[in-house]
Structure 1
Amino acid sequence: MDDRPGLPARLFHRWLLRYVPVAALILFASVLVGYGFASQIPAEWLQNPGTTGENPFMPAELTTLSLTINNLGALLVMALGAVSLGAMTVLSLVLNGLLIGVVVGIALKQVSPVVVAALIVPHGLIEVPALLIVAAVGLRFGWQTIQYIRGRTDGLVTGQDLREAGWLLVTAAVLIVIAAYIEANLTLEIASRYTDTNLSGVAADQAAIVSP
């Protein structure tokens, strides 16, 4: 009889239990710093409606496909922590956190907290976990590499590591597609229920919170 834990249990204990909290702490701390910076940036930093294509963080048109491609690219950069001792993962978490904090802080100068929450929460509840899952992969591989260099482990990466990381990356990719669909098709409709303001420009910048 096979007494080994199932795949979900292995993924949780070997990858998520330790590394997701670390990634979340880095992201949250960076959000707070970014929010503090927002008070020093004029509200005009958010572009007017219809100028999305001028934002270097965003595709010219906010569609499910364009958002999926943009955010998968961001997660790929984060996953490069696996081959950079975790450095790219940490840097990506910090940059995304700073951007989230700055954009939210500036958006609050233009619309109410309820509207800002409506612009972020529906897709963010799916998008941020995907980001943290990929961050966990990058951080774990980075830590394993450091331990190998220090002579603490005999092997660098096992076949089991690669298979489990593959499952996590696929899961994150699926979550990104779902979040992109919500962001492209439902976000403005939900947020518009709470204000008469034209939210096109604000929504475009809110969409930049996960970017390379």
Structure 2
Amino acid sequence: MSETFKISHYLAISGIILIAGFAAGFVLSYFDPAFGESLVNLFQEMVAGQIMGDDPPVLALQLFLNNLEACVVIFIGGAFFGFISVAILMLNGVIIGAVLEVVRKEAGYIALFAAIVPHGIFELPAVIASGALGLMMGRAVKNELSGISDASFEAWRLGGYFVKYIIPFVAIAAVIEAFITPAVLQLVT
């Protein structure tokens, strides 16, 4: 089995986990609007309220650091046999899905897409790839316990992928979210 197939396999699994979380959060918020509103309030208190009032350059840096931290935790969570990576992917999916349903209900589909698509085309792949790397890390830990491979060597190799692909995608997404997404939202709202 080639390395490309392995990575694509884990990317697919990670994407499915995140999408399942989106779907769960969206459906829960749809049928229980209070659930969605509580997650929106939590999101505003913990993330948006701390960073959204800043100038675009500062906002871009804060978004970059916040999203990079999430991706690092998803990746490193793989050291616990991938369970933490899966849990954080699913939890992030639920929160985002619930928030998206609230936005859709209040502002409509066009505003929803305008709020997500510009930076989401970079941020979501970074999150999914972080999950894939975390799942691969979990496999490496399992293989080391079975005497098949060296998990520390694999962690360094996967860390190289993280630095090469995840960090740039998170940086691009943060710049777009701080500078371009607000302009796109103003055009459609």
Same fold (TM over 0.5): yes
> Are positions 1:70 and 2:66 aligned together?
yes
Give the greater-gyration-radius structure (CA).
1
Of 30, 34, 41, the match for 2:21:
30
> Is contact 2:137–2:155 with CA below 8 Å preserved after alignment?
no
AA paired with 2:33? I
- CA distance, structure 2, for counterparts of residue 57 and residue 114 of structure 1: 23
Identify the residue that residue 145 of structure 1 maps to in structure 2: 141
Unaligned regions of 5+ residues in structure 2, if any? Answer: 53-58
Cα distance, 1:191 vs structure 2: 1.6
Q: TM-score when scaled to structure 2?
A: 0.84
Q: Tell me the percent identity.
A: 27
2:149 to 151, 155, 176: 155
Deviation readout 1:104-147 (Å, 9 max, x if unpaired): 11111110101110100110110011111111111011022223
Matched, 1:61 2:81: no
CA contact 1:59–1:70 (8 Å) conserved in 2: no
Higher share of residues assigned helix: 2
**CA 141–66 in structure 1, closer or farther in 2 if over 3 Å, else same:** same
The alignment's TM-score, normalised by the length of structure 1, stands at: 0.76
Shift of the 123–132 alpha-carbon distance from structure 1 to 2, 3 Å rule, reads same
Q: 1:44 to 1:101 in 2, by over 3 A?
A: closer
Q: Report how many aligned residue pairs link the two structures.
A: 177
For residue 188 of structure 2, what is the aligned residue in structure 1? 194
Is the contact made by 2:60 and 2:175 (CA closer than 8 Å) also made in structure 1?
A: yes
Distance (whole Å) between structure 2 residues aligned to residue 24 and residue 141 of structure 1: 16
- Give yes or no for contact 2:122–2:173 (8 Å, CA) kept in 1: yes
